[in-house]
Structure 1
Amino acid sequence: MHALNREPFVETVAAVSKISATDVTKVYSTKKSQFVALDRVSFHVDAHEFVSFVGPSGCGKSSLLRIVAGLETMTTGSMSISGHEIDGPGADRGMVFQSYTLFPWLSVRENIEFGLTLKGVPLFEKRAISDHFMELVGLHKFARSLPKELSGGMKQRVAIARALANNPEVLLMDEPFGALDPQTKNSMQELLLRIWEKEKTTVVFITHDIEEAIFLSQRVYVMQAHPGTIRKEIVIPPGLRAVEDVKDSESFMKLKKQIISLIGHHEE
């Protein structure tokens, strides 16, 4: 397996928080009752950082990501990107869901170029951008293929390429590999790390897979449910990730057991 340099990204100035959230609360109301999905959640994600949120079902991971994306509004609290309050969706954020959300009538290239077409990007520039990202995700030979002709892993590669083609400041990923078989999932994790290392996009990743969170991330926020809160922030040692057989190492297993304990303690 390709070993990646997972040392934190270093700039000539101190790292700047790309995303900052303070006391974010989300309450869903029905005719009969109210449900607190998130209760005073605070966190930060630095520029160029890869951060995951992990926790049990019902802990509000996806709701939190949708608030970052501007697809939902918080009930109380504040959240900003690069110092600007989030007030809706924006081109500064790209999103990849567990479902592939590709346009079935468009080819791989056309799917990747979709956002660029809406922006009115000139044809020669669109082609250069789509060529770059098709090469990056290993799909340059499938430029004319339709989604129905692709495997699940290939469809998700198209979705990642499409999100990155718009040059977002932040890539938001909601359990993007959850529907894939284990072997494809592992290869997609490795691909994502290579892309992250090359592009240095800030990544916020939602998963219920503890091993995936440790393997991919520089930091992991462990959440608990009822209501959704952050139980603990865990910094992943740089030398622990993205090397051959790391998931079987003693250090990796120790971190995994710690996170399982944090999640399980609340559920008992």
Structure 2
Amino acid sequence: MPSTGTFAGAGTDTGVRKIEAVDVTKVYSTKKSQFVALDRVSFHVDAHEFVSFVGPSGCGKSSLLRIIAGLEPLTMGDLSINGHEIEGPGADRGMVFQSYTLFPWLSVRENIEFGLTLKGVPLFEKRAIADHFMELVGLHKFAKSLPKELSGGMKQRVAIARALANNPGVLLMDEPFGALDPQTKNAMQELLLRIWEKEKTTVVFITHDIEEAIFLSQRVYVMQAHPGTIRSEIAIPRGMRQVEDVKDSEAFVKLKKQIISLIGHHDE
């Protein structure tokens, strides 16, 4: 890709708040003690935006995502999607984990169609939706394959396609590429960007990989641990990805150093 020579503009502001969090606090309690995983965390995500949360282990990234997904209750604070308080899991949110969470006895097509089947979507419509997303993630030739016949990257593509097939308003991703080798990881990052640019789904992405956060996101929230809080919000310049060998560019390296400094150590 040709270099633009400039990084004018940053992030995005559609003016439409998709997710709004105010003073979100999560405390885990046992008989003997309490552990504050998240302490008064406030942030927002606009519609169609790609936002990442990056930070060290123990900063509460995954707990935060599970709260957004409705899988865990918050202890204090307010968290809403489209202006409605989150009270539990919902079809408006799709989730992709680091583990592939595919049904091993179902084919690629059947895994992608699973949520649609539960919704009672008519067969012809269900097949058309699955065909679209298999094509989108490059798995149309593997429709009848079982998960055991797929590589790690292919399994994660199925998981992404399955989540998107249900037409969620928000796609929640918890370190989805963390278990992949570097080459496959880079390919999956490129694929995810192409999918996001085509589908314009709102994405909340959790990672400990600083380069990944910068490369994928429009904004990055930098977290710190003990307790988990948001230390800073970083807007990623719009022209960043148009630069050839972007991860080696001066602007990219500068952002990486800035985030490393904010986190306070070099553990990526």
Instruction: Give TM-score, length-normalised by structure 1.
Output: 0.94
CA–CA separation in structure 1 for the residues paired with 2:2 and 2:177: 20
2:6 alignment counterpart: none
Q: CA deviation at 1:265?
A: 6.4
User: Match for 1:136: what amino acid?
Assistant: L
2:85 alignment counterpart: 85
* Between 148-157 and 244-253, the greater mean CA deviation after superposition: 244-253
Provide the secondary structure at the position in 1 that maps to 2:105: coil
Contact 1:23–1:40 (8 Å) recurs in 2: yes
1:261 aligns with 2:225: no
Q: Render the CA deviation track for 1:209-242: whole Å, top value 9, x for unaligned.
A: 0000000000000000000000000000011126
1:28/1:75 CA distance change after superposition, 3 Å: same
Q: CA deviation at 1:104?
A: 0.2
1:103 alignment counterpart: 103
Contact 1:216–1:242 (8 Å) recurs in 2: no
1:44 alignment counterpart: 44
Contact 2:222–2:233 (8 Å) recurs in 1: yes
User: Match for 2:178: what amino acid?
Assistant: G
Q: CA deviation at 1:15?
A: 2.2
User: Match for 2:128: what amino acid?
Assistant: A
User: Runs of 5+ in structure 2 lacking a partner?
Assistant: 4-8
1:94 aligns with 2:94: yes
Provide the secondary structure at the position in 2 that maps to 1:215: helix
CA–CA separation in structure 1 for the residues paired with 2:177 and 2:29: 31
CA–CA separation in structure 1 for the residues paired with 2:120 and 2:95: 21
User: Match for 2:48: what amino acid?
Assistant: H
CA–CA separation in structure 2 for the residues paired with 1:68 and 1:39: 15
1:233 alignment counterpart: 233
1:199 alignment counterpart: 199
Provide the secondary structure at the position in 1 that maps to 2:117: helix
User: Match for 2:184: what amino acid?
Assistant: T
Provide the secondary structure at the position in 2 that maps to 1:121: coil
Q: CA deviation at 1:146?
A: 0.1
Instruction: Give TM-score, length-normalised by structure 2.
Output: 0.94
Q: CA deviation at 1:31?
A: 1.4
Contact 2:11–2:237 (8 Å) recurs in 1: no
Q: CA deviation at 1:134?
A: 0.1
1:178 alignment counterpart: 178
Q: CA deviation at 1:244?
A: 3.2
CA–CA separation in structure 1 for the residues paired with 2:242 and 2:145: 31
Once the two structures are superposed, the pairs formed by residues 48-127 of structure 1 within 5 Å of their partners are: 48-127=48-127
Provide the secondary structure at the position in 1 that maps to 2:98: coil
Runs of 4+ in 1 over 6 A off after TM superposition: none
User: Runs of 5+ in structure 1 lacking a partner?
Assistant: none
